[in-house]
Structure 1
Amino acid sequence: MFFASLAKAHHEILLFAVVGLAIGGIDDFIIDVLFLCRHLWRRLTVYSRHQRMTTVTLPASVRPGRIAIFIPAWREADVIGPMLRNALAHWGHQDYRIFVGLYPNDQATLDAVAPLAAGEERLILCINERNGPTTKADCLNVVWRTMLREEARTGVDFKAIVMHDAEDVVHRDEIRLFDVMTDRFQLVQLPVLPLPGQGGWWNKAIANHYCDEFAETNCMLS
């Protein structure tokens, strides 16, 4: 009798778990169905009527404006120098300004950025009043206030703000793309390609696992 009751209780618990898992999976299934329907609709209509745009065929903005790039930095001396040199070289003399948030007690990062900013009007240092680390939000607030002072000094308002990290490898056409896309949208997010790390097999295993998760998360957000 006891074992029969135990088996019945076990059956009821399994049934409850199955029903709960089914209900919890319905929302995921609906998202998959919506994605497939939207993908099919775009394949049958949009792609058949419009040629896919590339950076070569990208039109100029009807309302061009200056783009602000925010880069918060704390102990980024190893990566921020190459990142900034790459950005300045790729973006050339397009209408943008790079604002780098720094801390007075992070001398290594200051030494990496200051020589690049010397005589370069497109690169502006934003040094926090407090020693770091604080928070990324606090650093970005310092950068924001510096941008407002730059607008007041030059009389030119910024059209959009672009967020970058100190280790990013930027794309040469992103300034033009942001300039065009912000004519239509208040928020623009570009796909991000994670780059595998270098080093021994253990470092590569960790880095490549992070790359997979990063790419999956970015695709979900995009």
Structure 2
Amino acid sequence: MFEAKNITKTFNGEGGEAAVLNGADLLVEPGRFVSIVGRSGSGKTTFLNILSTLLAPDSGELLYRGEDITHASRARLNELRRRDFAVIFQFHHLLPYLTARENVLLPYMQGLGPVTAAVRRRADACLDRVGLSGKGGKLPGHLSGGEQQRVAIARALVKESAILFADEPTGNLDKETGDAIMGLLGELKHEGLAIVMVTHDEEYAARADRAVRMADGMVLKQ
């Protein structure tokens, strides 16, 4: 479904060039949950940003359903991110002036499709599913941190994407809320959603179908 081959990435800083990825590889099969763990600085977040096409690699290949998207046009990548890819960040990136429901509907407001009555009902159903029934009209500032992260997950769900990329989705949550989010991700995997999750939590990483470890910018062989 999705494959990364020999991905490299170097950044320029005050101390000169720093190689963050040194030939990272990953295969994600349909409906599988893959977790990526590693120490701070191992390159896991940079790798996830490249997998989700938010960042371009210096070299290597990205293949999605047999299509080489490594050097795809901006229009093609935008289309993939709108329709097939969903991303959840550690920091939820909700727009503070939009209600929870409007934040969930944001992919449609940004061109995914018209905001029909059916789409609004789907947004409410996604909020219900993440435990926010009746809170669709609240602004993010009136929600707890855990509730805001749940809104971000509902926003990812509303698109019915094929693959979900999650960067430390439980990093800012208490244990109870984190467990609930992990339970939800497990349900989504069983429904056919492919998931790639970066986490520092070994317990949560072990809940995936496959846990891979990164070190020195490479995915270690399992």
TM-score calculated relative to the size of structure 1: 0.26
**Which protein has the bigger strand share?**
2
Task: Tell which structure's C-alpha radius of gyration is larger.
Answer: 1
**Which protein has the bigger helix share?**
1
TM-score calculated relative to the size of structure 2: 0.26
Task: Report which structure shows greater RCO (CA 8 Å, sep ≥6).
Answer: 2
